[in-house]
Structure 1
């Protein structure tokens, strides 16, 4: 029998809430990350503070929110009622303290667990809260969740409201940076979902008159729309939808103002409702995939006491709208069936355009049915012995496992055996997979989806990602293109981006595609080694080490040993997200880089290369 004398009462420890948040931050804000993914922790911190201001607006208090985000500080000021002055410290530092447990005060709030702002406080180097109510002001300051300054209540001529300032703790959020495009999307979503609200963010006003209609107009290429966006509104529900010329389904779903990036019961009901409404209107039993092919939709609902599948609220788990209320499914499906049917009867031109798009999808599906069946059978046989894929144990679509594990899942798409070998040997086999390309992939620009099944490599990749029928089964949160930073590597990078943008644009739109950044230089002396990703970092490293350190220039991923590679794809991994600017047309983008205008492509590649003459230098 094993000895247990080391397992005593002293082994059992109780942590204060602040200590527990700092020890296990993933339980409160999901993954930490470094800011290169839109669901990284630093954006969740911003969201948790804004949510409180939004809830005040929803209750009818405050039509404006001021935001300022710099590298040094995040500042958010609302003009609601302000936190009751005697409870300011408790509300931002004591778990399970807040007004949202009183359903009469916050019937359809986002945050109901009393954790959000406390987690922001505990995970910040510096945190300050200021509340103004009826001519009086209360201020308190914290460091890593500990109260450092408790200011007395003073008179004030400022408007009512709450102001929060914080700086994320660099010891927890290592090497973080806020990416402007992600913040831009985050703020716009708040504006789209809250009519009448103005958000002043870093000197720019965000305001929406038409809600989800505006959201889709911002997200989609206007020249890709097959008919004007259908906009439907009811009590506690809003829907916008259209069909496009692009492949895939594209959805944006929200609950009580929260962007549910992973969907949930309401998004599933939207997909079902559209199919049922279309079948009944046209009196034809269309295949559901033909109806939903190329659809873009947005849905926002409000429910009492929503149940989410994780603390970060990215997937709705609620089955009912509220106590003694209809199910989410019946509420959404019934609304869409009635309202969409009414709309199509009143707008016959839109109905005909929709029918034309559905029939086109039906023809395309039948045209590739034969080759698709053969390709899928081939992929199924290859699945168990797929030499191109070195899989990992955890996956993004797993029903079990922690959010942190799922969010950290990634697949590296590599070129060449040497690079694949280095990554395979040094990867984390639990969360990191590798897919090897045998050379330059086919340029898929202007080709039809038939090529996805005819090309064995693309078909195997599609099955490895599990995205044939949409993103719901996506097996990896991050799809990472890992190629050399030379002419060939840049070209392969563009070819892979063309493939995803052409056939799976929602994979890019939803922030799942990245470029792996690997170091260009290794600067070292006998005591220390520094890896550098730019000329500027190299010069700084030389200045730090001094005394003529050895400088090695990496020309390709295959030159980097597996032991070294482990440092670049582990905790300190650097990923550059592929972000689609709202003003960029996918069609024009692909035509520019991958069409006949090869001079522009060559210029782009050359301008983005970082080339040094000497592999080894001595300074």
Structure 2
């Protein structure tokens, strides 16, 4: 449905599969202007008609950044989830967004803009860039708001001109005494975050996916703009120029150190695929399309994996301990790390990010196999950081996987079962409640089979939500009062008048209740327990809007009448649903032996093969990148030097945690 407000009138027109159902119709007068388009996805055209708030948010945020001053509001009316995207600073704000978890070398992004007439056609270029203390570059290029993931002529022109401009400035200001030779492009771009936003009519791309711009006239234009305007910026801001050039000189020294380290390592054959690492148990298969490499945590697990594997096509490389965090290290340090050298040598594709030769890859599947515990997760994250920063083409081409070893082994008689985590194992025992159990309430109501199963399942989920809320400083007493009151309006915290009914109810159960301004958003409620040493609690909007509180409230409504009633199984009496649920789960586990694996090394080779390595039965997770900007941000937050962004990330996402291994 199309609705247009223009020239004092409101016009509407309805469509079906792109064809108008009737002519444009005038339905009234208005003083407003604008266009509204409402559509429903057609399942006969689209294979997937589900809207994903996160995916839409990422794309709309991108568009808002690239169009300074444009406001976009995204509203999901199903769950009232909202997001507003408005960035007055445009691409400069985009750069600030990307650098928020890094330390900038200069306070504001450098902004360059040019508008020209090319044979009667208007062309627009804007570039924002900022150097940070990180060791990785991030250049995002867009043509007519389309992200060109593989770059193109605009990126080539930008890179070459940037290097020339810096070297020219160094020469003109006699700064070359600190250098043996001109700076290389990689030195100049170390720690650089840049956005190139190009708008041109009739752009030429290398393919229909528009991932690479090939319009040849763009390169020379961007080169001339950078040489003129970026050099002018350096002349006008000598202190900023000095800071970023000092970093570039340091990067050049590190590059030279890395080159020497590579030479030493190459002489020893450590990076040469013809000299494979001693710890590698290689496979017999020489066709890379059929071969797999398991990168395994520790010598113990490596020993089990070597015995468990099918040596015809499976190779095993054990790692000793945790590898270097490459997010915090320069290339010369990385190349000297023994475990990383072993990985590079085993893969056979070299270590040059610009000229990585995937045709020499020795294994089609590279599988990270670590323990199913916290340490294993940390090692896996360190490995993922290395592959993301230095072997990204392997992720792009779909070569990187994560093994899913079980955490539990359950045995009864000849029956042996494996479970990935505690939640999956508890789910197995929970389903057994359906078998031959009949429960009667004190009022005579009978529950069994599926009905009993769903009641116990809902209660356990309810209890889990309460525990998570309590772990974040909300008292059980307060949670129960909120649930009894049925309070669910997080937006009320923006207006203290709307909170009055809730305040009145809470006043009956707490010594003091007051509304105080919240520095983050609106207002919060401060509560104090009875007694001289009564505890204080702070109820914030984010608690009410958290997924766990919403889940707890929905389950409370379903279970309300059963939570405090009594139950009987035969002559055995249970005073509450909690006591009944605990007893039922204990009954289902009788006769079973439960083993929790502390590590892969605890499994014998046969168990490791059948659960984790056998292609017919194993479960692998393929590592993919859906949003490069978000992936880069997350790696910087979790693995970078900045502590505050990591702390903020943990606090922000604490209530969203679903699987927590303590």
TM over 0.5, shorter chain: yes
| Alignment match of 1:492 (pick from 358, 379, 403) | 379
- 8 Å contact from structure 2 (residues 158, 222) kept in 1: yes
**Structure-to-structure mapping, 1:379-458, within 5 angstroms:** 379-383=270-274, 385=276, 387=280, 413-415=295-297, 416-417=301-302, 436-444=317-325, 448-458=330-340
Task: Answer yes or no: is 1:279 the counterpart of 2:167.
Answer: yes
**Structure-to-structure mapping, 1:249-398, within 5 angstroms:** 249-283=137-171, 285-313=182-210, 315-320=211-216, 326=217, 328-377=218-267, 378-383=269-274, 385=276, 387=280
- 8 Å contact from structure 2 (residues 12, 24) kept in 1: yes
Task: Answer yes or no: is 1:211 the counterpart of 2:211.
Answer: no
Deviates more, 1:506-515 or 1:252-261: 506-515
Q: Distance in 2 between matches of 1:164 and 1:389?
A: 56
| Shift in CA distance, 269/579, structure 1 to aligned 2, threshold 3 Å | closer
Q: Distance in 2 between matches of 1:442 and 1:582?
A: 16
- 8 Å contact from structure 1 (residues 269, 329) kept in 2: yes
CA deviations over 1:481-506 (Å, ceiling 9, x no partner): 431112542342354467679x7599
| Alignment match of 2:609 (pick from 552, 555, 561) | 561
- 8 Å contact from structure 1 (residues 191, 207) kept in 2: yes
Q: How does the TM-score come out when normalised to structure 2?
A: 0.53
Task: Answer yes or no: is 1:196 the counterpart of 2:69.
Answer: yes
3-state SS of 2:61 partner: helix
**Structure-to-structure mapping, 1:68-217, within 5 angstroms:** 135-140=11-16, 160-166=35-41, 178=52, 180=54, 183-202=56-75, 203-217=82-96
| Shift in CA distance, 457/248, structure 1 to aligned 2, threshold 3 Å | same
Q: Distance in 1 between matches of 2:307 and 2:16?
A: 51
Question: How many angstroms does 1:155 deviate by?
Answer: 6.7
Q: Distance in 2 between matches of 1:419 and 1:152?
A: 73
Question: How many angstroms does 1:589 deviate by?
Answer: 5.4
| Shift in CA distance, 217/563, structure 1 to aligned 2, threshold 3 Å | same
CA deviations over 1:136-180 (Å, ceiling 9, x no partner): 2314379xxxx9x97998776796332233388999679x99583
**Structure-to-structure mapping, 1:531-610, within 5 angstroms:** 533-540=420-427, 555=597, 559-561=607-609, 565=613, 566=615, 580-581=633-634, 584=637, 586-588=639-641, 610=661
Q: Distance in 2 between matches of 1:178 and 1:569?
A: 29
| Alignment match of 2:109 (pick from 213, 225, 229) | 229
3-state SS of 2:245 partner: helix
- 8 Å contact from structure 2 (residues 111, 129) kept in 1: yes
| Shift in CA distance, 253/392, structure 1 to aligned 2, threshold 3 Å | farther
Question: How many angstroms does 1:205 deviate by?
Answer: 0.8
- 8 Å contact from structure 1 (residues 250, 506) kept in 2: no
Q: How does the TM-score come out when normalised to structure 1?
A: 0.56
- 8 Å contact from structure 1 (residues 139, 153) kept in 2: no
Question: How many angstroms does 1:219 deviate by?
Answer: 0.9
2:128 corresponds to: 240
3-state SS of 2:38 partner: strand
- 8 Å contact from structure 2 (residues 3, 10) kept in 1: no
| Shift in CA distance, 292/532, structure 1 to aligned 2, threshold 3 Å | same
- 8 Å contact from structure 2 (residues 149, 212) kept in 1: no
Q: Distance in 2 between matches of 1:561 and 1:479?
A: 17
Question: How many angstroms does 1:472 deviate by?
Answer: 7.2
Question: How many angstroms does 1:258 deviate by?
Answer: 1.1
Question: How many angstroms does 1:580 deviate by?
Answer: 3.5
Q: Distance in 2 between matches of 1:584 and 1:153?
A: 52
Question: How many angstroms does 1:265 deviate by?
Answer: 2.9
- 8 Å contact from structure 1 (residues 568, 574) kept in 2: no
Question: How many angstroms does 1:273 deviate by?
Answer: 1.8
Q: Distance in 2 between matches of 1:135 and 1:410?
A: 62
Q: What RMSD in Å do the two structures reach over aligned CA positions?
A: 5.6
Bigger radius of gyration among the two: 2
